[in-house]
């Protein structure tokens, strides 16, 4: 599953046969990604080797499902639209045994984003949408105490948002 197609979130999707032909590894049955609204693209990403070699060929191999917005992928796995960082950016929600895990994608890049939801990363495609999404989603995650996975937050990248001295903070577990 891709939360978005930036080079640091794409990889290990294809192996190459001896003749260089790309194919999905045996463990990959289908990849899913969000559809970009109105065909919007981010040209620099399209030429990055990770995108060119690990993402773009998937469509031609018939192993990609594209969809827009919130989507139930399976009974315990869904996407949630979290716009702003990229067109079609999504977070993933895994549910099991009455508990939820939210995989943020690039909704937050640093611990400071826990409280400073107005800060914009240079890669945020739509800064106003990114700010609004951070305010809403991080507020909900704090209120529910939901477990969160975030690749750009400090090791181990799994934790919860909570309050310390009146400020929302990231609390790794």
In the prediction, which pLDDT does 42 show?
Answer: 45
Q: Where are the beta strands (DSSP E) in the chain?
A: 15-16, 22-23, 31-34, 64-67, 71-74, 77-81, 90-96, 99-103, 147-149, 158-164, 167-172
Burial class (CB in 10 A: 0-12, 13-18, 19+), 6: buried
Tell me if 62 is assigned to some domain.
yes
Count of C-beta atoms within a 10 Å radius of residue 35: 13
Domain CATH number, residue 116:
3.60.15.10
Q: Which residue has the higher pLDDT, 168 or 51?
A: 168
* Phi, psi angles (nearest 5°) of residue 82: -130, 70
| CB-based contact 55:10 (threshold 8 Å) | yes
In the prediction, which pLDDT does 27 show?
Answer: 58
Tell me if 16 is assigned to some domain.
yes
Tell me if 1 is assigned to some domain.
no
| Rounded-to-integer distance, Cα 161 and Cα 170, Å | 5
Q: For residue 33, give its domain range.
A: 7-172
Q: What is the pLDDT of residues 85-130, one digit of tens each?
A: 888 889 999 999 999 999 998 888 889 989 999 998 888 889 999 9
Tell me if 63 is assigned to some domain.
yes
* Report field, pTM of the whole predicted structure over 0.75: yes
Q: Which residue has the higher pLDDT, 6 or 153?
A: 153
| Rounded-to-integer distance, Cα 83 and Cα 17, Å | 37
Tell me if 2 is assigned to some domain.
no
In the prediction, which pLDDT does 148 show?
Answer: 97
Report the largest interatomic distance among the alpha carbons of the chain, rounded to a whole angstrom. Answer: 60
Q: What is the pLDDT of residues 2-58, one digit of tens each?
A: 777 766 667 777 778 888 888 777 655 555 554 444 444 444 566 777 777 777 788
Mean pLDDT value across residues 156-160:
95
In the prediction, which pLDDT does 102 show?
Answer: 96
Please give the structure tokens belonging to residue 22.
């790309």
| Rounded-to-integer distance, Cα 133 and Cα 125, Å | 13
In the prediction, which pLDDT does 8 show?
Answer: 66
Domain count, the chain: 1
């Amino acid at each position: 599953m891709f939360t978005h197609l930036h080079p640091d979130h794409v990889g290990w999707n294809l192996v190459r046969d001896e003749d260089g032909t790309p194919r999905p590894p045996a463990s990959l049955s289908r990849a899913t990604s969000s559809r970009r609204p109105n065909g919007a693209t981010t040209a620099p990403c399209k030429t990055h080797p990770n995108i060119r070699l690990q993402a773009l060929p998937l469509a031609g191999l018939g192993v990609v499902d594209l969809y827009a917005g919130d989507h139930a992928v399976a009974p315990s796995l869904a996407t949630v639209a979290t716009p702003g960082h990229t067109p079609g950016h999504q977070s993933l929600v895994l549910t099991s045994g009455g508990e939820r895990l939210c995989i943020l994608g690039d909704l937050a890049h640093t611990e400071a984003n826990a409280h400073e939801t107005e800060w914009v990363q240079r890669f945020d495609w739509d800064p106003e949408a990114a700010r609004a999404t951070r305010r809403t989603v991080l507020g909900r995650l704090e209120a529910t105490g939901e477990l969160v996975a975030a690749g750009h937050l400090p090791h181990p990248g799994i934790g919860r948002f909570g309050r310390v001295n009146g400020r929302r903070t990231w609390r790794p577990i």
